[in-house]
Structure formats: structure tokens, C-alpha cells
Structure 1
Amino acid sequence: MKRIAFVFIFIVLSAISVSNTANAQCAMCSVNAEQGTKNGNTQGKGLNTGILYLLAIPYVLITGVGVLWYMKYRKKATQSVSHL
């Protein structure tokens, strides 16, 4: 178990120490964000809002499925207890 932890720590430290900087935005998004802040436009706000919107949707869907699954499991468990 200690060996696995050592290997994991070694891999993480190696990945951190060798990483290069990356420009993760596409050219259009980068130019749009830069020009919006220079000219006082609110396009950067819209871009950030869109990113947060796209980030939130999967979490909302997973939470909804989890709640439905829990309610169905709970209903099934109470029915089996009441029949005994």
C-alpha cells in the first residue's frame, strides 16, 4: 500500500514539475474578452455567465437523477417493510 502511495505522489509531482503554460482559450474567445474589457463593454460578463451556465447544467441533471433514484429506492424499501 505504501508503494502505491509513493508511486502516485511521484507521478503527481512529476506532472506538476514538467507542466508548460497553455493558452486554453480559442482565438475568438480570447479576442472577445480582451476587447470587452478594454472598451468597457459587458461582453466579458456574458462570456463568464455562459461558462457558468454550461458548468451548472450537468450538476443539476445529476442531482435530479440522484433524487429520483433515492425517492424510488426509499419507496421500494418502505413497501417491502410494510408487507412483512
Structure 2
Amino acid sequence: MSRTGKSFLAKHLYFLFFIFFSLGANAQCAMCRAALGGDENTKQAQAVNDGIVYLMVVPYLLVAVIGYLIYRMYQSKKKKVS
């Protein structure tokens, strides 16, 4: 197997490892934690955590899609030049 093939395989294995073995995170700011503190608000606190994570994921997805589109644009320009 060539060096680029090994690099390609290693990158994809790392990606799959991080997807399948990711850890859950509690994403609360200090103000949210203070407002939702206590044992009686566990469902509400979990809902706030999920909302924060959801809002955090959207910008990353947009950047990834834009990056992919730029990558495809450069690849098509390379094919036209060759």
C-alpha cells in the first residue's frame, strides 16, 4: 500500500474512532447552572444542555459545508488545468 493510501486510511480510522467513542459533555454556562441548580430541575437542565449543544453544532456544520464546497471548487479547477 502506498504512503498516501496509508495516510488516507489512518485519517478515516481516526475519524471513525472519534465518532463512535465520543464522550458526552455538559454544556452549561455559569448563569444557566445557577438558574437550574438543584435536584428538582434535572429534566429542565438536560433540555438546556441539549439546546446549547444544538446551537453550538449548527455553525460548525455550516463551516464544514462551506469548506467542502471550496475544496470541490479547487479540485474542479485543478482538473480543468490538467
Match of 2:30 among 19, 25, 28: 25
Q: Which residue is equivalent to 2:58? A: 57
Q: Unaligned stretches of 5+ in structure 1?
A: 1-23
Higher relative contact order (CA 8 A, sep 6+): 2
Distance in structure 2 (CA, Å) of the matches to 1:32 and 1:40: 9
Inter-partner Cα distance in structure 2 for 1:40 and 1:55: 22
For residue 9 of structure 2, what is the aligned residue in structure 1? none
Contact between 1:32 and 1:43, CA under 8 Å: does it hold in 2?
no
Normalised by the length of structure 2, the TM-score is 0.56
Report the equivalent of 2:20: none
Per the alignment, residue 70 of structure 1 pairs with: 71
State the SS of the aligned residue for 2:37: helix
With normalisation by structure 1, the TM-score equals: 0.55
What code does the residue aligned with 2:64 have? Answer: T
Q: Residue type of the partner of 2:30?
A: Q
- Cα-to-partner distance string for 1:23-78 (whole Å, 9 max, x where unaligned): x522xx2344214xx22641011111011112211210110010000001001110
Count of aligned residue pairs for this structure pair: 54
Report which of the two structures shows the higher radius of gyration computed on alpha carbons.
1
Cα RMSD of the aligned pairs, angstroms, is 1.8
Greater per-residue helix proportion: 1
